C-alpha cells in the first residue's frame, strides 16, 4: 500500500513538472502581465497583478511606467509599478495601492513601457518585447 501511494505521488509530481515545461513553451520569451484583482478600501484602489517572466533567464528588477485612465478615458495619473525580481517561468503576485482613487472609477491601465529592466543576461528590451497583458477585472489593460 505504501509503495503504491509513493508511486502515485511520484506520478503526480512528474506530471506537474511536465506541465510546467510545456507552459514555458506556450508563454514564449516574453513577460506576461495580468491584472488579477482590483479592490477599493476607503479611498485607495489596490491593484493586484500576476506576472510571469517567460524568458529562460531571471529578471533582477522590473519597473513599468503605468498610466491610469478614469472611466471617461482621461489620464488620472502616471505611476511607476516596481515588480521587483522575476525568476523564469514562475508566477509572482504584486500589489500596488493607488491612493485617492476608487477602483470603479478606473477604466484602463496602460503599461507605457519599461522604466527599468535589469538582467545579467537579457537584452534591455526583454521586458517590453512580446509583452502580453490581460485583465480578470472590469478594468481594461493595454501594453
More confident residue, 18 or 53: 53
pLDDT reported for residue 18: 40
pLDDT at position 130 over 80: yes
CATH number of this structure's domain 28-142: 2.60.40
Strands (E), 21-143: 31-41, 44-53, 59-70, 75-86, 92-99, 106-118, 132-135, 140-142
Domain spans of the chain, in order of start: 28-142
Please write the tens of the pLDDT for every residue from 96-117: 999 999 999 999 999 999 999 9
Angle CA 138–141–143, to nearest 5: 175
Contacts for 123 with CB less than 8 Å, ≥ 6 apart: 129
Please write the tens of the pLDDT for every residue from 77-98: 999 999 999 999 999 999 999 9
From CA 107, how far away is CA 142, in angstroms rounded?
Answer: 11
Q: What percent of the chain has pLDDT over 90?
A: 79
Question: CB of 14 within 8 A of CB of 6?
Answer: no
Question: Per-residue confidence at 28, pLDDT binned at 50, 70, 90?
Answer: confident
DSSP state for residue 9 in the 8-state scheme: H
User: What cell does 115 get?
Assistant: 522604466
Please write the tens of the pLDDT for every residue from 30-56: 999 999 999 999 999 999 999 999 999
pLDDT reported for residue 3: 38
User: What cell does 121 get?
Assistant: 543576461
Radius of gyration of the chain (CA): 18
User: What cell does 52 get?
Assistant: 510571469
pLDDT at position 12 over 80: no
pLDDT at position 128 over 90: yes
pTM more than 0.85: no
Mean of per-residue pLDDT scores for the chain: 86
Q: Cell numbers 506576472 correspond to what residue? A: 51
Amino acid at each position: 500500500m505504501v509503495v503504491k501511494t509513493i508511486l502515485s505521488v511520484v506520478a503526480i509530481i512528474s506530471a506537474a513538472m511536465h506541465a510546467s515545461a510545456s507552459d514555458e513553451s506556450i508563454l514564449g520569451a516574453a513577460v506576461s502581465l495580468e491584472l488579477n484583482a482590483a479592490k477599493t478600501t476607503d479611498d485607495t484602489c489596490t491593484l493586484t497583478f500576476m506576472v510571469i517572466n517567460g524568458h529562460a533567464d531571471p529578471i533582477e528588477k522590473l519597473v513599468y511606467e503605468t498610466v491610469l485612465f478614469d472611466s471617461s478615458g482621461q489620464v488620472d495619473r502616471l505611476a511607476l509599478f516596481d515588480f521587483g525580481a522575476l525568476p523564469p517561468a514562475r508566477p509572482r503576485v504584486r500589489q500596488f495601492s493607488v491612493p485617492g482613487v476608487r477602483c470603479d472609477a478606473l477604466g484602463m491601465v496602460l503599461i507605457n513601457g519599461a522604466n527599468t529592466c535589469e538582467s545579467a543576461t537579457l537584452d534591455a528590451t526583454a521586458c517590453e518585447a512580446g509583452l502580453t497583458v490581460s485583465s480578470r477585472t472590469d478594468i481594461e489593460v493595454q501594453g
